[in-house]
């Protein structure tokens, strides 16, 4: 059996699991730690042969809506995103539980506890519960694979979307996965009720009641699920509830898998209440081990916290933030911590930095000279991408990074408040994700602000995926109503430094919306392309560098 | 058999290729493995690490417990020191001696040397020079992989098979160059361990 196992990242296991479950389309926007799901599908021979949809979407909202449309048409679809992407897609996410699904619909959300590559560590299970949606949370790569098949079946049985929640550690860890025989994908099949997806109030009320009435069945499904298990143990002074991959850290600390305490392993929500009741009756104290926020722990305690004796993140048994580790769980289990030697004092931090030859670096040099050195610090609103590294030395050029697209809209609000100049710095892919609508707001009011769209022709931070902006930025800006007199493209090579500084200064003097697009391809995608192409071949379709 | 390894380096130095070769060798030897990687922001010239666990039975945690690593394998000397808290008593540090200086406050040569010499179980090889001498400057990571192989209970032929599998599509010349570096790395480690 082991020889049949393939080494897959958790993300890849999700992709392969969905492919083998007969999915007809993946819809996603790149975001760490979820990116590798779509990348795997894009490299999959089977996906190409089966004509599975696998082109990136503009953002997570358009991705989830497209997946919902595919479900409407009777086929299985999966939308994939990082946790903060679910905020962007929250509207279709919550409402898709009310419309329900036709073809199986899964929403895979990759949370990033410890914020390895994110601006927060929100726990998507809260949003899943908010939407009253069934959820799956794998403990390992094999379960990530298996849960896709299970999830699509559950989705079609309940006629509801199903959320699959993974976290960084599982998404980006590789282990052996054994595949099952693939299921063929379905055909177009309209919903039985042609008003199912029409959320007019009268219909919505009916649909919402149905969603509420389904909840006991979802709890029953969790109770019967192969992913939720009560494993009894003789020492009932403590019971352990472990969600998702938390169970691995519990097992790690008991040699030979001899756990003396009763253990509940949770992999499917809503939580099976009867299982929890049994543990509460049997054990003196319950330790809750969950990756993320104290979701289950909070439910167990309740507002008054006068019932069950619970330990977890809320009482300091485990830290309130950050991802779990085997050592943290070891201490929570009452065992002595272990550590090697201390880090010698000579070891310095080595933060990430812009690559050598990165066009953003050249742009920041010019921007600092035109803005910071003239007007002082505090005028530059930025966004999510490689260029966020412009906040660190040596540039320290930007003053905000909040969410996708917020550079333009925050600059607008600040300009409205009278902060002049107000400059927005946003990447080409982020602009297409959520920047266009904000620019339209600014155009409508002709707000006095400068928008710099840093065009490196890629979604670079996540590994150089194709950007929707490619060769479209100028047309998009003109289409949104930017004055052609105040729209400029320039290659920010050092030779053009003075020209770029001059251009920025000139446009800062203009009391309306200006857009400057410094354009030069990402050095990483350029390297990748030149490695793929034999020497002498022209740069290819993506070489749009002026 | 159990081998818990921390692979360390700077984003772009090729620690994931070491992991791939090791993973291939482990699977070909009928062993189980788990390997946690770093993707995303830190890849841009920052400190990166990968937790690699190989065993002949079940592996639970994707992360190596702090104080539990049998081996810290690093393609950069200062990065090797960063993961000492993970090293178990008696565990070994195998590292390249050539610094990667991309920060202004990188420690001085002497203090770095002293910190490495303070380690009881260490193998320090000049992997950059080994690779350069084999006319394969990008193969520095394979020299480190060869050195590390001395401390992992997997037949060396399986490591060689791993190199063949990973570099195979780049042609025989690339495979042979990387095999040469892998073998030389192991040879230098044998000598260094004896010191």
Inform me whether the C-beta atom of residue A353 falls under 8 Å from chain B C-beta atoms: yes
pLDDT digit string (tens) for A321-370? 999 999 999 999 999 999 999 999 999 999 888 998 999 999 999 999 99
Lowest model confidence (mean pLDDT) among A24-28, A193-197, A527-531, B186-190: A527-531
Given pLDDT bands bounded at 50, 70 and 90, which one contains residue B42? low
Q: Using the predicted structure, report yes or no on whether residue B44 has a pLDDT greater than 80.
A: no
The structure tokens listed for A29 are 């926007």
Residue A352 to residue B89, Cβ atoms within 8 A = no
Nearest to A224 by CA among A258, A267, A189, A191: A267
The structural domains of chain A, with segments of one domain joined by +, span: 2-224, 229-332, 359-532
Is residue A490 within 8 A of residue A504, CB to CB? The reply is: no
Mean predicted confidence (pLDDT) in B165-192: 95
CA distances B181 to A46, A243, B132, B170, Å, are 36, 45, 9, 16
Q: What is the pLDDT of residue A533?
A: 56
In CATH, what number does A229-332 get?
3.40.50.920
- Domain A359-532 in CATH 3.40.50.970: yes
Q: Is residue B23 a contact partner of residue A174, using CB atoms and an 8 Å limit?
A: yes
A409: contact with B, CB 8 A cutoff: no
Contact A32 B89 (CB under 8 A): no
Structure token pair of residue A47? 């996906």
For chains A and B, CB pairs below 8 A equal 156
Q: Angle of helix A406-417 relative to helix A436-445, nearest 10 degrees?
A: 20
Burial of B86 (0-12, 13-18, 19+ CB in 10 A): buried
Sign of torsion, CA A505 A508 A512 A518? positive
B79 and chain A in contact, CB less than 8 A: yes
Determine what percent of chain A is predicted with pLDDT higher than 70: 97
Domain A359-532 in the same topology as domain A229-332: yes
What is the CATH architecture of A2-224?
Answer: 3-Layer(aba) Sandwich (3.40)
Residues in Cβ contact with A54 at an 8 Å cutoff, skipping those fewer than 6 apart: A25, A26, A38, A41, A42, A44, A47
More confident residue, A467 or A13: A13
User: pLDDT-derived band of residue A546, with 50, 70 and 90 as boundaries?
Assistant: very low
For B91, name the nearest residue in chain A, comparing CA atoms only.
A340
Closest CA to A397 of A378, A374, A412: A378
Tokens of A467: 């950007």
Mean pLDDT value across residues A524-540 = 65
The answer to whether residue B47 neighbours chain A at the CB level (below 8 Å) is yes
Indicate the angle between helix axes B172-194 and B140-149, nearest 10 degrees: 50
Q: How high is the pLDDT of residue A464?
A: 87
Residue B69 distance to chain A (closest CA, Å): 9
* Residue A341 near chain B (CB below 8 Å): yes
Asked if CATH classification 3.30.470.10 holds for the domain at B2-194, the reply, yes or no, is: no
pLDDT for A397-443, tens place per residue? 999 999 999 999 999 999 999 999 999 999 999 999 999 999 999 99
**Nearest chain B alpha carbon to A523:** B44
Tell if the CB–CB gap between B68 and A326 is shorter than 8 Å.
yes
A7 in contact with chain B, both atoms CB, cutoff 8 A: yes
Please give the share of chain B, as a percent, with pLDDT higher than 70.
97
Query: Residue A180, Cβ neighbours under 10 Å: how many?
Result: 11
Mean pLDDT computed over A477-482: 98
Closest by CA to A298, choosing from A168, A308, A111, A245, is: A308
Mean local confidence (pLDDT), B178-185: 97
- pLDDT tens sequence across A91-133: 999 999 999 999 999 999 999 999 999 999 999 999 999 999 9
Contact B143, B186 (CB under 8 A): no
Which residues in chain A are contacts of B88 at CB distance < 8 A? 340
Residue A5's pLDDT is what?
85
Residues of B in contact with A172 (CB under 8 A): 36-39
Say if CB B29 and CB B97 are below 8 A apart: no
Determine contact, residues B52/B5, Cβ cutoff 8 Å. Answer: yes
Cβ <8 Å between A350 and B79: yes
Q: What is the pLDDT of residue A461?
A: 86
């Amino acid at each position: 059996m082991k020889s049949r196992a393939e080494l897959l990242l958790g993300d890849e296991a999700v992709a392969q699991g969905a492919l083998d479950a007969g999915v007809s389309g993946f819809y996603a926007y790149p975001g760490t730690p979820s990116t590798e799901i779509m990348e795997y599908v894009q490299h999959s021979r089977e996906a190409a042969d089966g004509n599975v949809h696998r082109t990136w979407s503009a953002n997570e909202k358009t991705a989830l809506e497209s997946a919902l449309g595919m479900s409407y048409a009777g086929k299985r679809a999966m939308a994939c995103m990082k946790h903060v992407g679910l905020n962007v897609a929250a509207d279709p996410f919550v409402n898709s539980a009310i419309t329900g699904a036709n073809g199986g619909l899964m929403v895979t959300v990759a949370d990033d506890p410890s914020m390895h590559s994110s601006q927060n560590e929100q726990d998507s299970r809260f949003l899943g519960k908010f939407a009253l949606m069934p959820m799956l949370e794998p403990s390992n790569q094999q379960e990530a694979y298996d849960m896709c098949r299970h999830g699509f079946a559950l989705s079609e049985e309940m006629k509801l979307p199903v959320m699959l929640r993974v976290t960084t550690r599982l998404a980006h860890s590789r282990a052996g996965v054994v595949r099952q025989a693939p299921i063929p994908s379905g055909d177009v099949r309209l919903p039985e009720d042609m008003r199912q997806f029409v959320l007019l109030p009268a219909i919505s009320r009916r649909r919402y009641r149905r969603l509420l009435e389904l909840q006991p069945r979802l709890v029953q499904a969790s109770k019967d699920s192969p992913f939720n298990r009560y494993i009894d143990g003789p020492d009932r002074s403590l019971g352990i509830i472990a969600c998702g991959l938390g169970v691995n850290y519990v097992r790690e600390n008991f040699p030979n898998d001899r756990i003396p305490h009763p253990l509940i392993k949770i992999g499917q929500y809503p939580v099976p209440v009867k299982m929890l009741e049994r543990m509460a009756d049997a054990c003196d104290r319950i330790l809750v081990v969950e990756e993320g926020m104290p979701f289950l722990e909070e439910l167990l305690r309740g507002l008054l916290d006068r019932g069950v004796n619970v330990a977890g993140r809320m009482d300091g048994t485990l830290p309130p933030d950050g991802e779990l580790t085997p050592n943290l769980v070891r201490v929570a289990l009452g065992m002595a911590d272990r550590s090697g030697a201390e880090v010698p004092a000579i070891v310095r931090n080595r933060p990430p930095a812009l690559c050598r030859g990165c066009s953003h670096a050249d742009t920041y040099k010019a921007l600092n000279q035109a803005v910071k050195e003239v007007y002082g610090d505090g005028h530059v609103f930025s966004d999510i991408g490689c260029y966020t590294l412009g906040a660190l030395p040596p540039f320290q050029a930007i003053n905000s990074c909040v969410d996708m697209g917020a550079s333009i809209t925050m600059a607008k609000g600040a300009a409205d408040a009278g902060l002049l100049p107000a400059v927005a710095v946003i990447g080409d892919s982020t602009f297409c994700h959520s920047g266009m609508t904000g620019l339209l707001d600014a155009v409508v009011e002709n707000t006095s602000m400068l928008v710099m769209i840093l065009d490196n022709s890629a979604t670079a931070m996540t590994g150089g995926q194709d950007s929707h902006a490619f060769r479209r930025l100028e047309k998009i800006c003109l289409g949104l109503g930017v004055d052609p007199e105040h729209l400029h493209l320039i290659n920010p090579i050092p030779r053009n430094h003075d020209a770029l500084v001059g251009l920025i200064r000139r446009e800062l003097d203009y009391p309306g919306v200006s857009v400057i697009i410094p354009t030069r391809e990402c050095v990483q995608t350029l390297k990748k392309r030149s490695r793929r192409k034999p020497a002498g071949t022209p740069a290819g379709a993506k070489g749009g560098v002026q | 058999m159990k081998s818990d390894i921390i692979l360390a380096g700077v984003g772009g130095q090729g620690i994931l290729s070491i992991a791939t070769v090791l993973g291939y060798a482990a699977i070909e030897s009928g062993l189980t493995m788990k390997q946690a990687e770093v993707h995303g922001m830190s890849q841009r010239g920052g400190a990166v690490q990968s937790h690699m666990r190989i065993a002949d039975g079940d592996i639970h945690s994707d992360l190596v417990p702090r104080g539990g690593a049998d081996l810290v394998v690093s393609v950069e000397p200062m990065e090797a020191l960063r993961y000492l808290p993970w090293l178990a008593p008696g565990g070994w540090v195998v590292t390249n001696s050539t610094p990667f200086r991309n920060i202004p406050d990188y420690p001085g040569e002497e203090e770095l040397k002293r910190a490495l010499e303070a380690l009881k179980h260490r193998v320090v090889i000049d992997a950059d020079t080994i690779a350069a001498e084999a006319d394969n400057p990008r193969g520095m990571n394979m020299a480190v992989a060869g050195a590390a192989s001395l401390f992992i209970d997997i037949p060396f032929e399986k490591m060689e098979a791993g190199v063949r599998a990973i570099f195979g599509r780049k042609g025989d010349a690339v495979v042979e160059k990387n095999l040469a570096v892998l073998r030389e790395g192991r040879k230098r480690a044998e000598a260094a361990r004896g010191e």
